Amino acid sequence: MVPSKEEIANFIAFAPAADEGKAFMFLEGADSMDEAVSQFYEDPDKYSKTHLPSMAAPVADAKEAKTTTPAYQPPPYAPPAQTRNAPRHRPHTNAVIHAAQVRARDEQEMQNLLQQVQYAHNIYNSDIEPEHDVDGYCNCSIHQYKWKKWSRVGVQKMWSKAVMYPGEKHYDDCYQGTIFTSNPYRYRVVSPYGNNVFSGYYIQRPKAQYYSMSVQQTVALNAALNAEAQATIDAKEPSFNIWKSEQLESSMSGLTIEDASDSENEDEKRPAEKGGSEKRQSMAGPLTSSDKGGGNFGSDSKSSARNRKSIAGPPTSKSGESSKTSRFASFKKALSIKSPEEKAAAKIQKMSARGRELRMAILEEEQARWQDQEWRLIVTAYLEKVGMTRKVADLRARFPTQYLHLLRAGYFEPIPVAWANQASNPLKFSIEAAAGWRGITPAWRGYEDTAEERLYWVLNHREGSVGARLKPDLMSAMNMARARMASAVEPPPGYYSANDICHVQHTSEGYSKQVMPAPFRPFDAPEVATDDTMILLDVSGSMDFEPVRPNYDNFLITGYSKSTQPKNKDVAKAIIRRFTDAMANHDHNFSGYQLTTFSSQANYIGVVNHQNLNQMWRNVRLGGGTRVMTGWQKVKDLHFQKHSESATHHPVYGWQAGPQTPMLRLLLLLDGEATDMDEFELDLLGLSWVHVTIFLIGVDGCPHHHRHANELQRISEVNHHVSFVDAQGNTPERFVTHELLKRHLGYEVTMAEFEELEQPPPYAG
């Protein structure tokens, strides 16, 4: 690869011992960043005759870690007994990371291809796969998509192997060449196209009745399979604390086996095929704590010795003569039939080995992921801010198998900054239960992607959360959206303005009905002079589209209808003008506020104010997707460039705010749900130095808008650093601006104060 300046800088961030020349040589001789960095750490001298001193820092031993690191490391960190010095900031990998890298290569391509095929054949529900069944060869777009999908079965198996829990099996929805399948959805969920539909002459169309049945059956099956999977893995967790080896040792020491002579006598008295099991010592509880089962471990008392079975030689009778082995016992031995005691002992030994294996795997993964003290402190702070410190510690102690899976997937640490600008990353992978594309947690079915799955997992395991916060299924979400849409009322007449863009363009008469926002409740401290105000604007292609709303037949989208209202870009510009005017009058910052736009990538526009907004707006380019994380990363960089003296920068997690870092107050304008909105909301949960106020622009009479608004409402209820206001159709701009100012400034702005703030700044001419 021919390295760019950015790649050279990234290489040096991972390998501080390298200079630009060495970084160039290693990148030029490798196919990827990971490969180049790995080669450097294996042999820093590879492209130089001069030997560079090693930059590796030895890992602290257990005693040093105990005295120099917090109690939660994270969770309580102790290196394995045998450790090796690992270079600082060496890229870490495991089965999940490797499978994710392979999957990410064409994940976005497959998602784009599916959308293209769906729209080409008038399929508007994103969860409906196109169908076209023929006997012979067909080169239509649907079959091209299916062939591409079938070619990814190897990638799917790799991903499944990396994220599956013990006892689970891989399945997919590619049934070519096989009659039998382990896919639980194939025969238990009806097709959206109906039963026994076949035609080689036309493309099948989904039917509303069958689609509703399909959704209902899928929701019910998801719930059943999730409950079963969670119960299965919970039952397979070790029944002892793998971090307290004395529990296992005491259990082994408490395991006593009957005197052989008694067993032989019983064998002679009972029939060979029945009985006697109730007279043996019960082993129902294989593991006990040290104070219950460990009292005789290592004891040399005569009573203890008499009660244990000797395996050095045959047992003796009271007279000292060797007792004769019963025929039944010999028969059992010949058939390798184990007694209940022997089975219990074998079970404990197996559990012990599994516990040691789990413990070592966890320690090695923790050490490899969190490579130094700074790294572990960042993770510790993240878990505290998100509110999962106790939950993660409990997982590590009581559910180590699940802890290890989530650890490998990065659930306990901030989102790496590099993911923000990647077209596909481990938080953008689609989850398709019927197709076999799995998530990370045991109960992964029903989520749209891995970001949504992780977001709800965090929300359900934060301290203070009451009850399970379940993701609404499609039918519930649509019903709630329709109920919200029906609650819309006429906006307060006191906010009328003849200058609103809907009145200037005369798209239709009057304002659209609006859903009144929830009463304002301040959570963050009110705005102070040192706070930064920035604006982040969605400039995806839909901002310039003629507004349309979907037509529904029950839950099936059958097409779209045009709405008579201004384009979203015009509404956004009008709100930005009113907002910046009011903010300038409030804080007397007449120079303006930084504006950043985002779609598929981010673009810094500059500082906008009342005088230059029209001129700066010419630099706004519309088009592309809606990836808010690209813009959010740009905003963070701008904020910390101004306040770098109060913050630190980590090569993986990026900027870390310090106690003196000023608050960032961000106005985010959206016209729909971003593809990585869950990732953005997840990132915000771990930050205390930012308050985000979201303005959601919607189409009049559109359930999609209200569905997204309901989701934002749920997020704002659990993350008080996020608030939102929405409007649809012909927007009452003054009303929206007033509500935005309350949430942005953090206090109840009275109507009288608002009327003063909304006047054009004094320099306007």
Q: What is the pLDDT of residue 307?
A: 40
Rounded to an integer, the average pLDDT of 626-631 is: 94
Nearest to 350 by CA among 240, 234, 232, 231: 240
Query: Which of the four pLDDT bands, split at 50, 70 and 90, describes residue 313?
Result: very low
Strands 722-728 and 690-698: parallel
What sign results for the dihedral spanned by CA atoms 422, 425, 428, 429? positive
Per-residue pLDDT reduced to its tens digit, 248-293: 566 555 544 343 334 344 444 444 443 443 333 332 333 333 333 3
Scan for tokens 């956004």, then name that residue: 572
Under a CB-based contact definition with an 8 Å cutoff, are residues 757 and 747 in contact? no
| Whether the predicted pLDDT of 217 surpasses 90 | yes
Q: In whole angstroms, give the CA distance from residue 286 to residue 206.
A: 55
Cα distances (angstroms) measured from residue 243 to each of 155, 239, 346: 35, 12, 21
3-state secondary structure of 549: strand
Q: In whole angstroms, give the CA distance from residue 383 to residue 411.
A: 10
Cα distances (angstroms) measured from residue 502 to each of 168, 505, 517, 520, 570: 56, 5, 21, 26, 9
Q: What is the pLDDT of residue 334?
A: 58
The mean-pLDDT minimum among 39-43, 159-163, 224-228, 640-644 falls in 39-43
Nearest to 500 by CA among 217, 168, 727, 764: 727
Q: What is the pLDDT of residue 507?
A: 84
| Strand order across the 602-608 sheet | 602-608, 593-598, 532-538, 664-670, 690-698, 722-728
Q: What is the CA radius of gyration of the chain?
A: 32
Q: In whole angstroms, give the CA distance from residue 692 to residue 749.
A: 18
Nearest to 11 by CA among 410, 97, 3: 3
Q: In whole angstroms, give the CA distance from residue 322 to residue 316.
A: 5
| Whether the predicted pLDDT of 337 surpasses 80 | no
380: tokens are 């510790």
| CATH 3.30.365.10 for the 530-757 domain, yes or no | no
Question: Which helix (H) or strand (E) segment is 597 a member of?
Answer: strand 593-598
**Peptide bond preceding 75 in cis form (omega within 30 of 0):** yes
Q: What is the pLDDT of residue 50?
A: 38
Q: In whole angstroms, give the CA distance from residue 623 to residue 597.
A: 11
Q: Is 546 exposed, middle or buried (0-12, 13-18, 19+ CB in 10 A)?
A: exposed
Average pLDDT for the chain: 82
Per-residue pLDDT reduced to its tens digit, 541-581: 999 999 999 999 999 999 999 999 999 999 999 999 999 99
**Max Cα distance, the chain (Å):** 119
Q: What is the DSSP string of 137-188?
A: ---SHHHHHHHHHHTTHHHHHHHHHHHPPTT-----S--TT-S----TTTTT
585: tokens are 């009058």
688: tokens are 């205390």
Query: Which of the four pLDDT bands, split at 50, 70 and 90, describes residue 52?
Result: very low
Q: What is the pLDDT of residue 225?
A: 97
Residues above pLDDT 90, as percent of the chain? 60
Under a CB-based contact definition with an 8 Å cutoff, are residues 107 and 451 in contact? no
Strands 548-553 and 532-538: unpaired
Q: What is the pLDDT of residue 37?
A: 67
Cα distances (angstroms) measured from residue 342 to each of 304, 345, 355, 646: 19, 5, 20, 64
Q: What is the pLDDT of residue 585?
A: 95
Q: In whole angstroms, give the CA distance from residue 722 to residue 666.
A: 10
Per-residue pLDDT reduced to its tens digit, 532-541: 999 999 999 9
Q: What is the pLDDT of residue 499?
A: 93
Per-residue pLDDT reduced to its tens digit, 665-702: 999 999 988 999 999 999 999 999 999 999 999 999 99
599: tokens are 């779609």
Q: What is the pLDDT of residue 112?
A: 92
Query: Which of the four pLDDT bands, split at 50, 70 and 90, describes residue 16?
Result: low
| Helical packing angle, 703-718 and 474-486, nearest 10° | 100
Q: What is the pLDDT of residue 286?
A: 31
